[in-house]
Amino acid sequence: NRLVQWGAANPQITGTMAQAGAIPLDFDGFGVAGGDGEAIVLDGMALVSDPDTGEVSVMQLDTEIAFAGIMSGFDADIEATIDEAVDCGTDLNDYLNGVVGDADAERMAAFRLRGVFDDVSYVVDKGVSADQEQSQRSDLEVTMVGVKAGSYVTGGSFTLGEELIGLGEYPIHLHFVTDDLQVVGHVRSCTISSGTVEIALANTFDVRLE
């Protein structure tokens, strides 16, 4: 389980979005990405949302990518079932830490969650800004992928003023895709009513800067 980050430590800073990628899209894992519209890479397929219309299309190999966090060789260490409502903003990190246990709660980890969302608020524009327009949907069957860190990860990389880019007490970065592949976005808030989650603890963490 190799967690790799491409791009700047804080890809939201004006100017860093001009980075070009060299990110392989046909790897054996999944990831979250941000380029000209929010994106998700899942099982070797990369999907990107148009920042103006929200329409989803398959990424081309020469698509510019400013930032991506990818788990290559994803092999889940832990699996669990969600059978009661989990709020992404207030409960998800505590839920995941409860699943992995105290000994590993501070480790970097990637997770893949398949389930039903009662509601989700998300953005499709490239990057993240405090005044960005959010879209809302309800009653969706989705796959959500994300990366979580421990309490040692702090600072401007995950905040816009007082507003979290990640979710919850610790930084969590989430993207989702609906089962029909028609909606892709960066999750700002959501409620998960039921589902299953696979968690892979990162054995190595690489940061690659263009």
Which residue's entry shows tokens 């070009």? 20
Residue 14 has pLDDT above 80, yes or no: no
Of 50 and 158, which is predicted with more confidence? 50
Which run of H or of E encompasses 24?
none
Give the global pTM. 0.82
- pLDDT digit string, tens, across residues 24-37: 555 556 777 766 77
* 147, two tokens: 């990366």
Distance of CA 41 to the CA centre of its chain: 10
Identify the pLDDT of residue 131. Answer: 67
pLDDT grade for 161, boundaries at 50, 70 and 90: very low
Separation of alpha carbons 88 and 60, rounded Å:
31
Residue 45 has pLDDT above 80, yes or no: yes
Q: Are 176 and 120 in contact (CB under 8 A)?
A: yes
- pLDDT digit string, tens, across residues 113-159: 999 999 999 988 765 555 678 899 999 999 999 888 776 665 444 44
DSSP per-residue codes, 116-185: EEEEEEEE-SSS--TT---EEEEEEEEEEEEEE--TT--SGGGEETTEESS-SSS-EEEEEEETTS--EE
